[in-house]
Amino acid sequence: MQVPILKQGAYLIATVQSALTDEDLKQLRDTLVVSVSKVRARGVIVDVTALDVIDSFATRTLRDVAHMIRLRGAETVIVGIQPEVAFSMVKLGLSLEGIATSLDLEEGLAYLDRKGKGPEHEVRTHR
Protein backbone atom coordinates (compact mmCIF):
# COMPACT_ATOMS: atom_id res chain seq x y z
CA MET A 1 0.00 0.00 0.00
CA GLN A 2 1.70 3.15 -1.25
CA VAL A 3 1.24 6.37 0.64
CA PRO A 4 0.47 9.30 -1.71
CA ILE A 5 2.73 12.31 -1.16
CA LEU A 6 1.44 15.70 -2.26
CA LYS A 7 3.43 18.89 -2.63
CA GLN A 8 1.68 21.99 -1.37
CA GLY A 9 3.79 25.15 -1.53
CA ALA A 10 6.94 24.57 0.50
CA TYR A 11 5.47 21.50 2.21
CA LEU A 12 5.09 17.81 1.50
CA ILE A 13 1.96 16.11 2.76
CA ALA A 14 1.92 12.32 3.11
CA THR A 15 -1.56 11.00 3.78
CA VAL A 16 -1.74 7.45 5.06
CA GLN A 17 -4.86 5.86 3.55
CA SER A 18 -5.00 2.46 5.23
CA ALA A 19 -3.08 0.05 7.44
CA LEU A 20 0.63 -0.12 6.61
CA THR A 21 2.94 -3.10 6.81
CA ASP A 22 6.44 -2.66 8.23
CA GLU A 23 7.74 -2.67 4.65
CA ASP A 24 5.28 0.11 3.66
CA LEU A 25 6.42 2.19 6.63
CA LYS A 26 10.08 1.83 5.70
CA GLN A 27 9.28 2.77 2.12
CA LEU A 28 7.39 5.87 3.28
CA ARG A 29 10.38 6.88 5.41
CA ASP A 30 12.86 6.44 2.58
CA THR A 31 10.67 8.22 0.02
CA LEU A 32 10.10 11.21 2.31
CA VAL A 33 13.78 11.62 3.15
CA VAL A 34 14.69 11.67 -0.56
CA SER A 35 11.72 13.79 -1.68
CA VAL A 36 12.23 16.53 0.89
CA SER A 37 15.45 17.68 -0.77
CA LYS A 38 14.34 16.87 -4.30
CA VAL A 39 11.48 19.37 -4.09
CA ARG A 40 13.30 21.59 -1.57
CA ALA A 41 10.47 21.25 0.93
CA ARG A 42 10.76 23.13 4.24
CA GLY A 43 8.21 21.06 6.03
CA VAL A 44 6.65 17.60 5.97
CA ILE A 45 3.26 16.57 7.30
CA VAL A 46 2.48 12.91 7.90
CA ASP A 47 -1.27 12.47 8.29
CA VAL A 48 -2.01 9.27 10.24
CA THR A 49 -5.75 9.88 10.77
CA ALA A 50 -6.53 6.59 8.97
CA LEU A 51 -4.31 4.46 11.22
CA ASP A 52 -6.20 2.46 13.85
CA VAL A 53 -2.97 1.08 15.31
CA ILE A 54 0.38 2.77 15.87
CA ASP A 55 2.56 0.11 17.43
CA SER A 56 6.21 0.14 18.49
CA PHE A 57 7.54 -0.34 14.97
CA ALA A 58 5.35 2.41 13.48
CA THR A 59 6.33 4.79 16.28
CA ARG A 60 10.01 4.11 15.79
CA THR A 61 9.71 4.65 12.04
CA LEU A 62 7.78 7.92 12.46
CA ARG A 63 10.42 9.09 14.92
CA ASP A 64 13.17 8.17 12.45
CA VAL A 65 11.37 10.07 9.68
CA ALA A 66 11.23 13.23 11.78
CA HIS A 67 14.88 12.97 12.83
CA MET A 68 16.14 12.24 9.32
CA ILE A 69 14.14 15.09 7.85
CA ARG A 70 15.45 17.45 10.50
CA LEU A 71 18.97 16.46 9.49
CA ARG A 72 17.98 17.40 5.94
CA GLY A 73 17.01 20.86 7.20
CA ALA A 74 13.23 20.58 7.23
CA GLU A 75 10.54 20.17 9.90
CA THR A 76 8.12 17.29 10.32
CA VAL A 77 4.76 17.25 12.01
CA ILE A 78 2.66 14.14 12.62
CA VAL A 79 -1.06 14.89 12.50
CA GLY A 80 -4.28 13.02 13.21
CA ILE A 81 -3.36 10.50 15.92
CA GLN A 82 -6.76 9.19 17.04
CA PRO A 83 -7.67 9.28 20.75
CA GLU A 84 -7.84 5.49 21.17
CA VAL A 85 -4.54 5.16 19.29
CA ALA A 86 -2.94 7.72 21.63
CA PHE A 87 -4.29 5.74 24.62
CA SER A 88 -2.78 2.48 23.35
CA MET A 89 0.56 4.13 22.53
CA VAL A 90 0.92 5.55 26.03
CA LYS A 91 -0.06 2.24 27.68
CA LEU A 92 2.46 0.43 25.54
CA GLY A 93 5.12 2.89 26.68
CA LEU A 94 5.58 4.70 23.39
CA SER A 95 6.16 8.40 22.97
CA LEU A 96 6.95 10.82 20.19
CA GLU A 97 9.02 13.02 22.46
CA GLY A 98 10.76 15.79 20.56
CA ILE A 99 8.52 15.24 17.54
CA ALA A 100 5.91 17.84 16.60
CA THR A 101 2.32 16.62 16.55
CA SER A 102 -0.91 18.42 15.71
CA LEU A 103 -4.58 17.61 15.96
CA ASP A 104 -5.22 17.61 12.22
CA LEU A 105 -3.92 18.71 8.84
CA GLU A 106 -5.06 22.31 9.31
CA GLU A 107 -3.25 22.62 12.65
CA GLY A 108 -0.21 20.94 11.15
CA LEU A 109 -0.02 23.48 8.34
CA ALA A 110 -0.42 26.33 10.85
CA TYR A 111 2.42 24.84 12.92
CA LEU A 112 4.76 24.71 9.92
CA ASP A 113 3.80 28.28 8.92
CA ARG A 114 4.72 29.50 12.41
CA LYS A 115 7.99 27.54 12.33
CA GLY A 116 8.86 29.05 8.96
CA LYS A 117 8.62 32.55 10.38
CA GLY A 118 11.34 31.83 12.90
CA PRO A 119 11.28 31.48 16.67
CA GLU A 120 10.74 35.18 17.39
CA HIS A 121 7.34 35.01 15.74
CA GLU A 122 6.36 31.66 17.13
CA VAL A 123 2.88 31.68 18.58
CA ARG A 124 2.68 30.13 22.00
CA THR A 125 -0.54 28.22 22.39
CA HIS A 126 -0.28 27.51 26.09
CA ARG A 127 -1.26 30.14 28.59
Partner 1 sequence: MRSALIADEVRVPIDRDADIVTARQKGRELATQCGLLSTDLAVVATAISELARNIVRYAARGEIIVRRVDENGKRGVEVVAVDEGPGIPDVTLAMQDGYSTSGGLGLGLPGTRRLMDEFEIISDFGKGTTVTVRRWKR
Minimum CB separation of residue 74 from partner 1 in Å reads: 25
37 to 76, contacts with partner 1 by CB under 8 A?
52-57, 59-60
Residues 101/65, Cβ–Cβ less than 8 Å: no
Choose among 38, 1, 42: nearest CA to 18: 1
Minimum CB separation of residue 21 from partner 1 in Å reads: 5
Radius of gyration over every alpha carbon of the chain, rounded to an integer in angstroms? 14
100 to 119, contacts with partner 1 by CB under 8 A?
none
Q: Name the strands in the sheet holding 75-79, side by side, starting at the edge strand that comes first in the sequence.
A: 5-8, 11-15, 43-47, 75-79, 100-102
Does 92 bind partner 1 (CB under 8 A)? Our answer is yes
Residues at the contact surface with partner 1, assessed by CB under 8 A: 19-23, 52-57, 59-60, 82-85, 87-89, 91-94
